[in-house]
Amino acid sequence: MVRGLSSALGHQDPQTVAKVTVITTDSNGDVDEAPLDVPLGTPVAETGYEVIYFRCSPFRRYKFSTELLSWLWANAHHYDIAHIHALFSPVSTAAATVCRWKKLPYIMRPLGTLDPADLQKKKQFKKVYAGLFERPNLAGAAAIHFTSDLESKVSERFGVSTQSMVVPLGVALPELPERKASQQAIREKFSIPADHPIVLFMSRIDPKKGFDLLLPALEKLHQNNTPFHFLLCGANPQDREYESTIREHIKSSDWADWATLSGFVSGELKAQILSAADLFVLPSYYENFGIAVAEAMAAKIPVVISDQVHIWPAIEQSESGWVVPTEVSPLTQALAAALADGTERKHRGENAQQCAEKNYGWSAIAKRLTTEYQKLAAPNKAFSSNL
């Protein structure tokens, strides 16, 4: 998301183009992943923006970087506004504090961490953490960036009155390979029968994604002899145990031959999968936006999602898929209806792509955010850049 936004901000017309610097760490997932092989402390030119990486230390699971914060302290005055992504992460928490002390206006994007359901995880720890750090950061922010009206409405504010800024996320509208060739390639690669529609899950393997709904629904479809092939594309480097539990559940199921567990995918293989998939599914218990859903829509894939994925009103209004409550039976029924009607899947897939192009293209999102940046930037300064 940050890369797509940064590139779009740097490629607007000359009067609104922003100079964008992204500061981040060299962390590459969790403690069992090697750090990124990148130069540290020096700008790396990207398309329309630059990135400066800093060593992630002394903590790796709970991201932190003294070098990053030192750089921010020394350079904050060069920028008009900061856009900080994530709460309850030490490095972003400290960065917001630095911005507040240096009087650099900043926007905080919570990434769903203020959802009441998410706050239940490590509840006591988050209560203390929020009281000590995040509440002052939210109170001092120029705005809180929510990606949907629903996220804004349900999010906990800890009593602060900071204004909301509701701007959806964007997706890079993909240049996908031809569908017929992709379907043939993916079916051959994963031994998928031609008469089994490909049901795609492409997201993090996490309890909040609704696997306790999805797996029973797929089992029921198998029992009813409804043909499908489930393609699970994802991982969870922060919870390998849960990821292994889901994998073992599928491998030991009666429908194991109707499933492929590909792990995390990217590049050409990801493009082929998005081009080949017949249906996308994400029955999450909470999702602040659902960027994977928007990406699937952009790839012309109809979607089956829960009404806790906050992009659902756009899906329902545009008839881009099926929206269900977080229950096994309605999810099973929606999947069965979608799998039974290829013509309807095609129709809703076309609607999905049109909806994504209209609402989630990065160019349009960048224009909206630039307008917000200009409103919120440091007073008496000409807006020229963002961090």
CATH code, 162: 3.40.50.2000
Predicted local distance difference test score (pLDDT) of residue 16? 73
Pair 147, 166: CB distance under 8 Å? yes
Q: What is the number of structural domains in the chain?
A: 2
Predicted local distance difference test score (pLDDT) of residue 383? 47
Range of the domain at 20: 2-170+361-386
Question: Are 58 and 184 part of one and the same domain?
Answer: no
pLDDT mean across residues, the chain: 93
Predicted local distance difference test score (pLDDT) of residue 378? 66
119 CB burial (10 A radius; 0-12, 13-18, 19+): middle
Question: Are 332 and 238 part of one and the same domain?
Answer: yes
Dihedral sign from CA coordinates of 25, 26, 29, 32? negative
Task: Give the max Cα distance, the chain.
Answer: 67
Predicted local distance difference test score (pLDDT) of residue 387? 45
Q: What's the pLDDT tens digit per position in 245-256?
A: 999 999 999 999
Q: What's the pLDDT tens digit per position in 327-354?
A: 999 999 999 999 999 999 999 999 999 9
Question: Are 76 and 197 part of one and the same domain?
Answer: no
Predicted local distance difference test score (pLDDT) of residue 28? 86
Question: Cα separation of 149 and 385, whole Å?
Answer: 27
Q: Cα separations (Å) of 62 from 56, 87, 91, 122, 162? A: 9, 12, 8, 14, 26
271 CB burial (10 A radius; 0-12, 13-18, 19+): middle
Question: Cα separation of 274 and 280, whole Å?
Answer: 9
Question: Are 203 and 152 part of one and the same domain?
Answer: no
Predicted local distance difference test score (pLDDT) of residue 385? 46
Nearest one of 192, 200, 211, 203 to 331, comparing CA atoms: 211
Question: Are 243 and 344 part of one and the same domain?
Answer: yes
Question: Are 15 and 127 part of one and the same domain?
Answer: yes
Residues of the chain with confidence (pLDDT) below 50: 380, 382-387
Q: Cα separations (Å) of 125 from 121, 130, 131, 287? A: 9, 8, 10, 22
Question: Are 202 and 156 part of one and the same domain?
Answer: no
Question: Are 136 and 225 part of one and the same domain?
Answer: no
Question: Are 156 and 189 part of one and the same domain?
Answer: no
Helix (H), strand (E), coil (C) string for 299-313: CCCCEEEECCECCHH
Question: Are 111 and 232 part of one and the same domain?
Answer: no
Question: Are 65 and 110 part of one and the same domain?
Answer: yes
Question: Are 112 and 255 part of one and the same domain?
Answer: no
